[in-house]
Amino acid sequence: MSLLVVGSIAYDSIKTPHGSREDCLGGSSTYFCLAASFFSPVRLVSVVGEDFRDEDMALLQSHGIATEGLEVAAGKTFRWGGEYSADMNTRDTLFTELNTFGSFEPKVPADWRDSHFVFLANGHPSVQASVLDQCSKPDFVVVDTMDLWIQTAKDELMALLQRVDGLVLNDEEAKLLTGEYNLISAGNALLEMGPKIVMVKKGEHGCFLFNQYFQFALPAYPTSTVVDPTGAGDSFAGGFMGYLAGNGRVSLHNLKKAMAYGTVTASLNVESFGTDRLSTASRDLVDGRFEEFLQFVTF
Amino acid sequence: MSLLVVGSIAYDSIKTPHGSREDCLGGSSTYFCLAASFFSPVRLVSVVGEDFRDEDMALLQSHGIATEGLEVAAGKTFRWGGEYSADMNTRDTLFTELNTFGSFEPKVPADWRDSHFVFLANGHPSVQASVLDQCSKPDFVVVDTMDLWIQTAKDELMALLQRVDGLVLNDEEAKLLTGEYNLISAGNALLEMGPKIVMVKKGEHGCFLFNQYFQFALPAYPTSTVVDPTGAGDSFAGGFMGYLAGNGRVSLHNLKKAMAYGTVTASLNVESFGTDRLSTASRDLVDGRFEEFLQFVTF
């Protein structure tokens, strides 16, 4: 089934206890696309500046990512700089230069408007809603969000949640949006806001899935090699949505497998700076790690 | 198989966002015994004061907990007071009155020295070691510890770890003892200190099991009813050791089931103040929740 993603592409400058990188390819939709591409072709709607490198465009296309919806606008590509703490559990944003992404108005190409699976990567809820306005009748829409929008655009976010099938966010955001300390209570409160499925990401503690009829949890893949956590959440979402779109059917069984594949793609992503590991890994490697992960969680 | 536990009995005064209680029955070995008693008889070595209530002694005995090793010493029973934060993730100790527990020298009754399963609840490593000196040849010894002993009695703790089969501790303690930020690295470092099995408790994030040949993880039971977290770790250990002792065989399969039963007994414990829920729950309730938990984690 066709999979559409709308989100940012950025050049990131990252410092972690393992070193630093300047201007490496990043952004929510980049991580999402690369992770999803193991399982399904991907349609990318985003914007970059005139400085976007040919090799990065080629990298995306070589992974089966269609770039007809990738606008090259006058100006520079979005830039973000961040530095992680010694234990990697917190990070400081050093700078944010929105550049061309600051005035991004997503335009879904005409022949992509019938996409079956749609992922709205983190962005202003009004911009995310404008994408849905352009889609005809998607089967399964998942939206990501963050504390900034919960604090500054809550009404727009609440309206958007009535229009989506799934919501993905981290545990802090779940608590912030619901006012519930207890994660189970928060998950149930989020379901009442509209989505049929809520996925709460807990980083090194794994992830929860909430639905009216069932709940499911997975730990994170047990990696001791965490080089750069940037993009872990988007890589999770990419593996999750990519697997579902590749399979075509959103069942309980497939949701569980999709969460496990998301866990695997996220675990690969954090093992190197930027997209290095995701962009060079093979489907065989992903499947091998999936089998290994099953051993870790199978009862 | 026989199960011996050595640890504290206390009267706790607890404040949580759900209310407060004065002088309710608590202490590490109390929670352990009650949780283990669903699966196996338990032999308790501990100390209380002359103020220990007859009804509490009767409560323990009515759960198949043998009290021949429970010394009633001159003076008062250990008292502890604590207050939990609004999100229940941190607590302040309001007072600690060791009383008779301050000079506790565990004496294992002669006909208990051949116990097959031994749990050394949190205590000074030298006192824990003195228990092992009195046991003949236990099949499976697990030790609990805490930050205080890691900081003040590390040499004694390291010596003790050479003599036990399993170590149970929480994630912060695992990081403190090893100096490793990454939990997987910490788990592997702990295995090198002696134990064949290391269980890391992560509270609401579940638990990990490490062994040279395998790793295993479980999320916590998804409860939205957390009234009083006191004793959750000891209730986990009790369900874990109780199930293994009841079954008699420490295999990978049984370790996984034991972790799930420990998760279930811990989840029951936090749903009421003190030991209220553990002391009134039935084995049927435990098994029912076990089945429910399997649905939550089964792939």
Over the stretch A226-259, which tens digit does the pLDDT of each residue have? 999 999 999 999 999 999 999 999 999 999 999 9
**Confidence check on the interface: ipTM exceeds 0.85, yes or no:** no
- Is the predicted pLDDT of residue A46 greater than 90, yes or no? yes
Residues 6+ apart with CB under 8 A from B186: B171, B174, B175, B177, B178, B180, B200
pLDDT at residue number A32: 98
B206·A206 Cβ contact <8 A: yes
Name the interface residues of A facing B (CB cutoff 8 Å).
86-88, 181-185, 188, 202, 204-206, 208, 214-219, 222-224, 226, 256-257, 260, 294-299
* Inter-chain Cβ pairs, chain A and chain B, closer than 8 A: 71
pLDDT at residue number B299: 81
- Is the predicted pLDDT of residue A88 greater than 90, yes or no? no
Global pTM exceeds 0.80: yes
Over the stretch B25-78, which tens digit does the pLDDT of each residue have? 999 999 999 999 999 999 999 999 999 999 999 999 999 999 999 999 999 999
Phi, psi of B5 (to 5 degrees): -130, 140
Residue B265 contacts residue B66 (beta carbons within 8 Å) = no
Average pLDDT, chain A: 96
A223·B183 Cβ contact <8 A: no
3-state secondary structure of A156: helix
pLDDT at residue number B246: 98
Structure tokens at A211: 């639905």
Q: Considering CB atoms only, which of A222, A294, A299 is closest to B297? A: A299
How many angstroms separate the CA atoms of A269 and A30, rounded? Answer: 12
Structure tokens at A74: 């006058």
Spell out the per-residue pLDDT of chain B, length 299, in tens: 999 999 999 999 999 999 999 999 999 999 999 999 999 999 999 999 999 999 999 999 999 999 999 999 999 999 999 999 998 889 999 999 999 999 999 999 999 999 999 999 999 999 999 999 999 999 999 999 999 999 999 999 999 999 999 999 999 999 999 999 999 999 999 999 999 999 999 999 999 999 999 999 999 999 988 999 999 999 999 999 999 999 999 999 999 999 999 999 999 999 999 999 999 999 999 999 999 999 999 88
Q: Considering CB atoms only, which of A184, A185, A298 is closest to B299? A: A298
**Residues in A touching B298 (Cβ below 8 Å):** 299
**CATH number of B3-297, picked from 1.10.645.10, 2.60.40.10, 3.40.1190.20, 3.40.190.10:** 3.40.1190.20
Alpha-carbon distance values, B111 to A5, B68, B108, B143 (Å): 69, 10, 8, 22
Structure tokens at A178: 């619901």
List the domain boundaries for chain B. 3-297
A297·B217 Cβ contact <8 A: yes
B205·A206 Cβ contact <8 A: yes
Q: Which of A49, A176, A34 is nearest to A104 (CA)?
A: A49
Burial of A42 (0-12, 13-18, 19+ CB in 10 A): buried
**Residues in A touching B188 (Cβ below 8 Å):** 224
| pLDDT (average), residues A286-293 | 97
